Amino acid sequence: MPDILHRVGIKVPSKNVYEALTTVKGLAHWWITETKGNAKKGGNIDFGFSRMRVLETKPDRFVKWKCVGGPKEWLGTEITFQLIRKAGQTFVLFKHAGWKEPVVFMHHCSTKWAVFLLSLRDWLEKGEGRPSPYDIKIHVGD
Amino acid sequence: MPDILHRVGIKVPSKNVYEALTTVKGLAHWWITETKGNAKKGGNIDFGFSRMRVLETKPDRFVKWKCVGGPKEWLGTEITFQLIRKAGQTFVLFKHAGWKEPVVFMHHCSTKWAVFLLSLRDWLEKGEGRPSPYDIKIHVGD
């Protein structure tokens, strides 16, 4: 099954990145403004268009979600963020795994994830996140 | 074998996108400033860090390259751009296929391709491409 993969490097400590991934307030600053719920291990996060269960967390190192609501192509897929400290920055290795088919929507989501991971970087480095609905659009009507 | 997939929509006719993909001048405006060679079918394009052979072109619809020089992970991989006219824009369905393993470098390249496809969009819509070395950086030292 095809996966979406990405990597960005962020010039802040791993714990700052981890906090932006495991708190509703943090997630609202870079992905979806209207994020609600509980972003800790075992919690459910409501992103409006989708819901994630937090399957696993390792402080400052790893976060894993499972999609439990939202677009049918996302249901059951898993999203992981692996944090690696190296060369004066925190690398985020991102994977959105478990897509059944490489549909057009997967192409779209791959490009959007890149945009949002750069939003995460810009939020943490400069306080300039671009969460939805303020995100960079990738087509007319996005 | 895992693929890198992306999609952007560009508010210009398909022929403008096709031209930006099949001329050295066009490629230099959104991907690599120092592009040289021949970007027509059967030609070889020299991007400095890599070389591509143009395997197939269908005017205003399709472009396929094969990597014949560059990073070892890229050698033999194939890059396709499919152009689809829909909803007042030209969608670019992008695929970089044939990676042997989902290595860290593949994560990096996936995010960079998103950045460059948005550079293609911004070049064609606004005359504001960001080709390398003026590209958006995705980590410290990128």
pLDDT given for residue B37 in this prediction: 98
Q: Which of A2, A112, A6 is nearest to B111 (CA)?
A: A6
Interval B8-45: pLDDT, tens? 999 999 999 999 999 999 999 999 999 999 999 999 99
pLDDT given for residue B2 in this prediction: 84
pLDDT given for residue A1 in this prediction: 63
Q: What are the chain B neighbours of A107 within 8 Å (beta carbons)?
A: 5-7, 93-95
Tell whether B12 lies on the interface with A, counting CB pairs under 8 A. Answer: no
pLDDT given for residue B17 in this prediction: 98
What whole-number percentage of chain B has pLDDT above 90?
99
Interval A84-120: pLDDT, tens? 999 999 999 999 999 999 999 999 999 999 999 999 9
Q: Read off the pLDDT of each residue in A14-35 and give the average, rounded to a whole number.
A: 98
pLDDT given for residue B21 in this prediction: 98
Q: Is the pLDDT of residue B1 over 80?
A: no
Nearest Cα of chain B lies from the Cα of A133 at a distance, in angstroms, of: 18
**pTM given for the model:** 0.98
Please, are residues B120 and B114 in contact by the beta-carbon 8 Å criterion? no
pLDDT given for residue A74 in this prediction: 98
Q: What are the chain A neighbours of B95 within 8 Å (beta carbons)?
A: 107
Is the ipTM higher than 0.85? The answer is yes
Q: What are the chain A neighbours of B73 within 8 Å (beta carbons)?
A: none
Determine the residue of chain A that is closest to B6 in CA distance. A107
Question: Is residue A2 very low, low, confident or very high in pLDDT (cuts 50, 70, 90)?
Answer: confident
Q: Read off the pLDDT of each residue in B53-79 and give the average, rounded to a whole number.
A: 98
Please, are residues B10 and B90 in contact by the beta-carbon 8 Å criterion? yes
pLDDT given for residue A97 in this prediction: 97
Nearest Cα of chain B lies from the Cα of A23 at a distance, in angstroms, of: 23
Q: What is the mean pLDDT of chain A?
A: 97
